[in-house]
Amino acid sequence: MTNKLRYFIGNWKMFGDFSSIKIIHQIHRFCLKYKNINKKNKIILCVPNTLINYFSKKGKSKFVVIGAQNCHYKNFYGPFTGSVSASMLKTAGAKYVILGHSENRREGDTNQLIKEKIKFALNNGLYVIFCVGETLKQKKQGKTFSVLNNQILSSINKSFNLKKILIAYEPIWSIGTGKISKNDDLIKIFKFIKKNFKKKFRTRKFPIVLYGGSVNEKNIRNFSTILDIDGFLIGGASQSSKKFIDIIKNYYK
Ligand code: PGA
């Protein structure tokens, strides 16, 4: 059920300026030095919109792909102050976009809006990193599986280009808290997401499923024992090239 390629995706959130391009250069140098490791990896940095174009042009690296963190639910242009559409992100140079992050759900993103966003992101040729996850309360009530099922079924349509959707399982209580799920729980959840997705959408292959929530260079070894985890969505620790590189190194130790 594993997909051999491993994804290390940075979610910079509201962090970074033009000088942060040095992070890309450092990761690029690491990839050049450890070519063998990095043949197995896909490294994507989802940066603020203000940096997408600059990084795509000036940070050009065959190892580091640039992505965005959200987009509007309408395509192209429109009277939506402060918003950016999937087509605009694509033009700016993004190849991926994170959608459905809990920080955006908290600000009003519903499953239905996320579905529209996924549709337009895919229509514009972007890969989608689709975040799902339960709250602590839902976990305690034993609702994790039903929450995940509902989030996935409500925002994905069979007619979508499913090969371009990566699912990121991010328990909300784990994001930025240092708290991590038990391995036994993760194993069950990853199997559930993969099997359920394959069955419901009748895909030939299992989807790519990532883990996100407090991943760092110290706890990454623990995750590497769970083969169904195809990669990681890394927030805080991706804002430092050293930590991000150490996560990749330690994953293979
Ligand atoms: P974190 O964030 O690694 O800082 O917990 C993960 C995320 O929000 O995607």
Q: How does pLDDT run across 62-99, given as a tens digit for each residue?
A: 999 999 999 999 999 999 999 999 999 999 999 999 99
What's the pLDDT at 132?
98
Q: Which of 234, 240, 244, 247 to mutate to test the pocket of ligand 1 (most atoms within 8 A of CB)?
A: 234
Instruction: Check pocket membership of 10 for ligand 1, CB cut-off 6 A.
Output: no
**Could you give the residue numbers annotated as active site?**
101, 170
Q: What average pLDDT does the chain have?
A: 96
What's the pLDDT at 4?
84
Q: Which residue's CA is the nearest one to ligand 1's atom 3? A: 235
Calculate ∠ Cα 195-201-205, nearest 5°: 55
The pTM of the full predicted model, rounded to 2 decimals, is 0.97
What's the pLDDT at 244?
98
Beta bridge partners of 212: 233
242: part of which helix (H) or strand (E)? helix 241-251
Largest CA distance in the chain: 51
What's the pLDDT at 3?
59
Instruction: Check pocket membership of 131 for ligand 1, CB cut-off 6 A.
Output: no
Are residues 148 and 190 in contact, defined by beta-carbon separation less than 8 angstroms?
Answer: no
What's the pLDDT at 35?
84
Cα separation of 159 and 169, whole Å?
22
Q: How far is the CA of 233 from the centre of ligand 1 (A)?
A: 7
> Comparing C-alpha atoms, which of 93, 102, 135, 79 is closest to residue 233?
102
Q: Catalogue all structural domains in the chain, each as residue range(s) with its CATH number.
A: 6-251 (3.20.20.70)
Q: Which residues of the chain have pLDDT under 70?
A: 1-3
Instruction: Check pocket membership of 234 for ligand 1, CB cut-off 6 A.
Output: yes
